[in-house]
A and B are shown apart, each in its own frame.
Chain A
Amino acid sequence: MSVFGKDREAFGKFAAGMALPEFDGCSFNTPKTLADAKVAIVTTAALHREGGGFELGDSDYHFETLPSDARDLKLGHHSVNFDRGGFAADINVVYPIDRLNELAQDGIIGAVARHHYSFAGNQSDGVTEIRLDSGPQCAQEMLNEQVDVVLLTGT
């Protein structure tokens, strides 16, 4: 049995001891009313389509673009210690694209973005590359599509 993710005490110690970057302050934007807002998903589950994908290790900081209607997605999170069964059974447990569509149909959210985005969760300790390069690029892609709210899911 893998202890990772099953042993709450070990999990807590792992979280408490993780090296984390520091940020000067915290930007905090208030979006338009949710019923008028366009929502995009950004996940660090390394999701990708056939032909895309992420390298093993912690040096792949690029992001993949996921069209809103794509369901032929692969889970690129390759760790042997990762529970893959949830995603195999239902992509929405990591990437709740069908749930967003339902919320949009019910008028709870304004719209679902045409594009969503995926990064590899395993990044360098300083996370410099996604802070300075691919993260801002991804933000610009979403701003270009007039996204208001980003839902971030990890693994």
Chain B
Amino acid sequence: MCPRTVCTLAHVFEAAGLATIVLTPMRPVAERMGVPRALYTDFPLGRSLGKPSDQQFQLEVLRAAFALLEEPEGPVIRDFPVSVSFYDSQPLQCPLPPRFNADLHPAVDEAQALKAAYDRARQASGKTSLGMRISAEEVPAALEKFVQISNGEPWEILGFSAESIYGTVHDIRCYYEELACELAEGPIGPWATEEWFYDQTQAGDIILQARRAMRDSEVAQSVWFGLAPAGRS
């Protein structure tokens, strides 16, 4: 797990002669591993600097981290005084397109209509994490396969392997969550894009339907479980 890995690297680097500072959301791991310097940040996983697109907040975190270099000896752990909680954030306010082509499944229609927003998001940020298995152009066709699975089609005959179906969902989520950052009003709170995807989009809904269909037809759990976060049904 990341907290263990990052603390291990701190020990390795310090043994090589470098000075290290760990930002960690898991204080117990830093304590038990006795890392040289750690700033405990009570932030959601995946948000080491606490708040995206908040320059001043991020600089405050870094100033607190670098202040650890003034400590005369270690191991030393200090707490960043401000917490960021999932429960303090607001649901994502992100518009979805109206139905355009009634001949298509709503998820496929939706994904096609959102392509321009994805392209704008990619242009604006200069990056995308999509591409583990499919391209942005292939997202609507991939969703069509999940429609078929939700209708009882066996997943294996649609060209998926256990690894590729997981990677395909990863890419569909990237497509939606990245464009959501372009369309949304206000800050992107912890887990807000994930919740928006599974709770509000047609794409998220059809993936959950397909996941349930796989579960109910006794497909191996290792294949369907990872198509949505733990705790979803």
Chain A partners chain B: yes
Say whether B82 faces chain A, with CB atoms less than 8 Å apart. Answer: no
Say whether A5 faces chain B, with CB atoms less than 8 Å apart. Answer: yes
Check B2–A20 contact: CB distance below 8 A.
no
Check B36–A127 contact: CB distance below 8 A.
no
Check B59–A3 contact: CB distance below 8 A.
no
Chain A residues within an 8 Å CB radius of B24? 154
Chain A residues touching B, range: 35 or more
Check B4–A74 contact: CB distance below 8 A.
no
**Which A residues between 51 and 109 are near B, CB-CB below 8 angstroms?**
56, 71-78, 80-94, 96, 99-100, 102-103, 108-109
Q: Spot the interface stretch: B10-18, B137-145, B152-160.
A: B10-18
Number of A-B contacts (CB under 8 A): 294
Chain A residues within an 8 Å CB radius of B74? 26, 28
Check A94–B48 contact: CB distance below 8 A.
yes
**Complex formed: what's the CA distance from A153 to B172 in Å?**
26
Main secondary structure of the interface of A (DSSP, over half): loop
Check A130–B12 contact: CB distance below 8 A.
yes
Check B9–A3 contact: CB distance below 8 A.
no
Check A88–B49 contact: CB distance below 8 A.
no
Given known A-B contacts A80-B229, A81-B230, A84-B46, A23 and B5 have beta carbons under 8 A apart: no
CB within 8 Å of A: which residues of B?
1-29, 32-37, 44-53, 55, 58-59, 62-63, 65-66, 69, 72-75, 86, 125-129, 131-132, 163, 166-167, 169-170, 173-174, 177-178, 180-181, 188-195, 226-232
Please, which residue of chain B has its CB at the minimum distance from the CB of A119? Answer: B5
**Of A16, A45, A123, which one neighbours B28 at CB under 8 angstroms?**
A16
Check A93–B52 contact: CB distance below 8 A.
yes
Check A20–B32 contact: CB distance below 8 A.
yes
Please, which residue of chain A has its CB at the minimum distance from the CB of B198? Answer: A1
Chain B residues within an 8 Å CB radius of A29? 14, 17-19, 36
Check A5–B191 contact: CB distance below 8 A.
yes
**Complex formed: what's the CA distance from A81 to B128 in Å?**
19
**Complex formed: what's the CA distance from A29 to B28 in Å?**
23
Given known A-B contacts A42-B9, A78-B132, A4 and B47 have beta carbons under 8 A apart: no
Please, which residue of chain B has its CB at the minimum distance from the CB of A106? Answer: B59
Check B16–A136 contact: CB distance below 8 A.
yes
Check A103–B62 contact: CB distance below 8 A.
yes
Check A50–B131 contact: CB distance below 8 A.
yes
**Of A1, A19, A93, A139, which one neighbours B49 at CB under 8 angstroms?**
A93
Check B28–A26 contact: CB distance below 8 A.
no
Check B18–A142 contact: CB distance below 8 A.
yes
Chain B residues within an 8 Å CB radius of A6? 44, 86, 190-191
- A21-B33, A83-B47 are known; give 18 further A-B pairs, CB within 8 A: A4-B229, A5-B44, A5-B45, A6-B190, A20-B32, A26-B34, A28-B74, A72-B126, A83-B45, A88-B125, A92-B52, A93-B47, A96-B62, A99-B55, A139-B17, A150-B10, A151-B65, A154-B6
